[in-house]
Structure 1
Amino acid sequence: MKPYTIQKQPFAVPTTDGKVINEHFGLATDGNKEISIAHMKAPAGWSEPFQTPQFDEYTLILKGKKQFIIDHETIILKAGQSIKIDKNTKVQYSNPFTEVCEYISICTPAFSMDLVNRED
C-alpha cells in the first residue's frame, strides 16, 4: 500500500440547486470523517438557507465572488481571497452576482448533512 492517495475521480454530489460539488476527500468519497475537501461551482443567483454547521469551514475563492452573511454581517470575497468560519456559527452562503463562483471548500470534521443544521 502506498503512503499517499491520488484522487482521479471525485464524487459528484447530487444537488437540486444548480451548484456543482465534486468532493475529492470526505464522507461521500472515501468515508473520511475528519476532513472533506471539495471543488465547487455556484451558479449566478444561487443561495442556500441559513445554517449553523457543527464543523469549521475554510473557503478559497478561485473565480468570481461569493457572499457570506455571518451574524448579520455581509462579507463578499473575490478570487484569491479566503475565509475560515468557525463551527456553530450561523451563516448563509450565496452568489447573488452575474457570474459563476468557483471555490474550494474544506470542512473539519468532514461535511455531513447531519452536521450542517440548515434552517427551513
Structure 2
Amino acid sequence: MKKYTVIKNPFIVPTTDGKIIKEHFGNATTGDSNISIAHMTAPPGWKEPFQTPEFNEFTFIIKGKKQFIIDNEIVVLKAGESIKIEKNTRVQYSNPFENPCEYIAICTPAFSLDQVNREADL
C-alpha cells in the first residue's frame, strides 16, 4: 500500500458565477473530511454571500488580488500574500478588481456546503 496520493485530475466543482474551483484533496475528490485543498480562479466582479464557516480557511494568492470583509473590516491581499480565517468568523470573499484572482484555498476540516453557513443575500 502506497503512503502517498497523487492527484492529476482534480474534481472541477460546478459553479454558476464564473469561478473555477479545482479540488485536489477533500470531500469531493478523495473523501477526506479533515482537509480540502483547492486551486481557484475568481473572475473580475465575482463575490460570494457573507458566510460563517465551521472550518478554518487558509488562502494563498498566486496572481491578482482578492478582497475579504472579515467582521466588517476590509482586507485586500495581493500575489504572494496569505491569510488564515478562523472558523466561526463572518466573512465575505470577492474580487472587485479588473483582473482575475488565482489562489489556493485550504480548509480544515474540509470544505462542505452544510458547514459553510452562507447568508441568503449578497
TM (normalized to structure 1)?
0.99
Q: Which runs of 5+ in 1 are unaligned?
A: none
Query: What count of residue pairs does the alignment treat as equivalent?
Result: 120
Please give the per-residue CA displacement for 1:22-68, whole angstroms capped at 9, x wherever unaligned. Answer: 00000000110000000000000000000000000000000000000
- Give the 3-state SS of the residue equivalent to 1:114 in structure 2: helix
Q: Superposition pairs for residues 13-24 of structure 1, below 5 Å?
A: 13-24=13-24
TM (normalized to structure 2)?
0.98
| C-alpha RMSD of the superposition | 0.3
Cα distance between partner residues in 1 of 2:67 and 2:37: 20
Q: Superposition pairs for residues 23-38 of structure 1, below 5 Å?
A: 23-38=23-38
Shift of 1:18: 0.3
Amino acid aligned to 2:33: K
Shift of 1:71: 0.5
Query: Match for residue 87 of structure 2?
Result: 87
- Give the 3-state SS of the residue equivalent to 2:115 in structure 1: helix
Query: Match for residue 97 of structure 2?
Result: 97
Cα distance between partner residues in 2 of 1:44 and 1:24: 24
Q: Which runs of 5+ in 2 are unaligned?
A: none
Query: Match for residue 59 of structure 2?
Result: 59
Amino acid aligned to 1:60: F
Please give the per-residue CA displacement for 1:75-104, whole angstroms capped at 9, x wherever unaligned. Answer: 000000000000000000000000000000
Query: Match for residue 9 of structure 1?
Result: 9
